[in-house]
Chain A
Amino acid sequence: MRLAHQFALESDFITGDAVEATEFPHLAQRYEVRAVPRTIVNETGAIEGALPEAQFLEAVLNAARKKD
């Protein structure tokens, strides 16, 4: 969670939302959240679990590239 917010703080192009899954069950269902944390990148990419900084960065950049 904290990494997503740090990325947002660092980059003007990145926004980071913490979403409480039980309060927004329709979103948890839409994004197929079965375990937490689950990070959705630009609606389509997904990252499972809490990753160390370098891996999270790589996963975010990979997922962001895939949308094109």
Chain B
Amino acid sequence: MAILNERDRQELQAQLKILTGPVKLVNFTQELACQYCRETEQLLREVKELSDKISLEVYNFQLDKEKVAEYRVDKIPATVVEGSKDYGIRFYGIPLGYEFVPFLEAVKDISRGDTDLAPETRAALAEVREPVHLQVFTTPT
């Protein structure tokens, strides 16, 4: 059964028309002992179908060790959203419910390779010279 219903699909397709640059979704998954892995992969496959700018690669978390190391993912389901490069943007857990809008916004921002941040914010971020790892905890509802 599809995760996105017909109405969601149409609305999303309309929203994704603004995509200009390519967006690559990289999904890490496994068959067993992962409650939402299968649904996450299915959701990403359904989203990918809605825009020719979106591509999807799926890797096995246990077997594809080189990719796991390359993308530095440490838990699953993991979804990397990347554009012309890997910006360090990850979703751990199924990006549905409360996380679906941020997921969509990440896809749109990455496609255009730009953000709506204020000039002062950009200037301050340009000064950052040490690694900063942000983990934002959310819940589905």
Contacts and interface: CB of A to CB of B under 8 A. Distances in A.
Contacts, number: 160
Interface residues of B, number: 46
B89 interface: yes
Given A20-B139, A24-B75, A54-B120, A8 B92 contact: no
Interface in A15-40: 15-24, 27-28, 31, 33, 36-40
Contact of B136 (A24, A39, A54): A39
Interface of A: 1-2, 4-11, 13-24, 27-28, 31, 33, 36-43, 53-54, 57, 60-61, 64
Interface of B: 35-36, 75, 77, 87-95, 99, 101-103, 105-106, 109-110, 113-118, 120-122, 124-126, 128-140
